[in-house]
Structure 1
Amino acid sequence: MGGESIPLEAQFNLLASYVALVIECGAVLVVSFGAIQSFSGVVASIFMGSASETAGRQIWLRFATWILLALEFALAADIVRTAVAPTWEDIFKLAVIATIRTMLNYFLAKDIASFDAPLQQPPSTTTRQD
């Protein structure tokens, strides 16, 4: 047929690029969904008159969870993109990006745990004796 054949490595690299793009789109969708959910929660709290610190915490916790998931998707996309014949520069960039995203994940997860802990504790039922 006269067409040039693309080397297998180049085809795999192209496939990996598409897979990484789809994963990155997933990250954008996850953050977008979380933002819409959080914004609607804020608006609903305001209009229903139930805006409180507890409601704000719940909204923040849900949004932070979505952001954590999106960070995982973004890191996965970077790993897929670098997996095919990486150069030392690619490996260095991935190491820096992975370190930053892992630190973000760690501290955000730690914040979520600290914010979520007081909400999980049942109210004290001690009675006061005079």
Structure 2
Amino acid sequence: MKTEGSRNSLITLLLPLALILGLVLLLSLNVETGEEARETTPLETWLKVIVGYLAAGTEIAAAVVIGTAVIRGIAAYLQLLFSRSKQHFDATEVVRLQLGRVLALGLEFTVASDILRTAVAPTRQDILNLGAIVLLRTLLNYFLEREIQQGEQRRLLERPSIENIR
């Protein structure tokens, strides 16, 4: 049992380090290919235009999702702050966890946007840049999800002790 716990802690330490190392390696690679002017077909041109609009729509969706969550979070916090309820002690934690979940969703939207932008006739450098961006956002998402899980576990552990006080 103890070895399983140490193995899990080792994995939670090594995974982010491996992701950071991969990010550094991807960013340090600079593929200089003599990209000769290649001809694009009309279909490829139209696909690039359509995919560009889809990627822009995905970025707008990410901004709307995150912006709405921020406004809702501020409103919920202010409501709990000015209410005379005794549940104010974990108000910031609840708002923070809700905002964290939405930020993770917003990160997924932005990753989808980057993938869309690279979907039509990418160069090697485009693929490396996409890899670095996806790796960075995955790393951010990993830490965000971990923080959310820890916050939810703290809330569950604190809830029975608070109910005993009442």
TM-score, with structure 1 as normaliser: 0.86
Instruction: Please state if 1:72 is matched with 2:118.
Output: no
Give the match for residue 92 of structure 1: 128
Instruction: Please state if 1:9 is matched with 2:36.
Output: no
Q: Distance in 1 between matches of 2:49 and 2:84?
A: 52
Q: 2:140 aligns with which of 99, 104, 110?
A: 104
Q: Distance in 2 between matches of 1:70 and 1:119?
A: 24
Contact 2:104 2:144 in 1 (8 A): yes
Give the match for residue 83 of structure 2: 48
**DSSP 3-state at the match of 1:32:** helix
Contact 2:81 2:88 in 1 (8 A): no
Give the match for residue 59 of structure 2: 24
Contact 2:114 2:130 in 1 (8 A): yes
Q: 1:49 Cα deviation (Å)?
A: 3.5
Q: Which runs of 5+ in 2 are unaligned?
A: 1-40
Contact 2:61 2:109 in 1 (8 A): yes
Could you give the per-residue CA deviations for residues 40-81 of structure 1, whole angstroms, max 9, x where no partner exists? 011111211447341110000000111000000000000011
Give the match for residue 24 of structure 2: none
Q: Distance in 2 between matches of 1:77 and 1:49?
A: 43
What one-letter code is carried by the residue in structure 2 that aligns with 1:33? Answer: T
Q: Which runs of 4+ in 1 moved over 6 A?
A: none
Q: Which runs of 5+ in 1 are unaligned?
A: 1-5
Q: 1:39 Cα deviation (Å)?
A: 0.5
Q: Distance in 1 between matches of 2:89 and 2:149?
A: 17
Q: Distance in 2 between matches of 1:123 and 1:44?
A: 24
Contact 2:48 2:120 in 1 (8 A): yes
Q: Distance in 2 between matches of 1:53 and 1:66?
A: 22
**DSSP 3-state at the match of 1:101:** helix
Q: Distance in 1 between matches of 2:46 and 2:71?
A: 37
Compute the RMSD of aligned alpha carbons. Answer: 1.9
More helix by share: 2
What one-letter code is carried by the residue in structure 1 that aligns with 2:123? Answer: T
What one-letter code is carried by the residue in structure 2 that aligns with 1:48? Answer: S
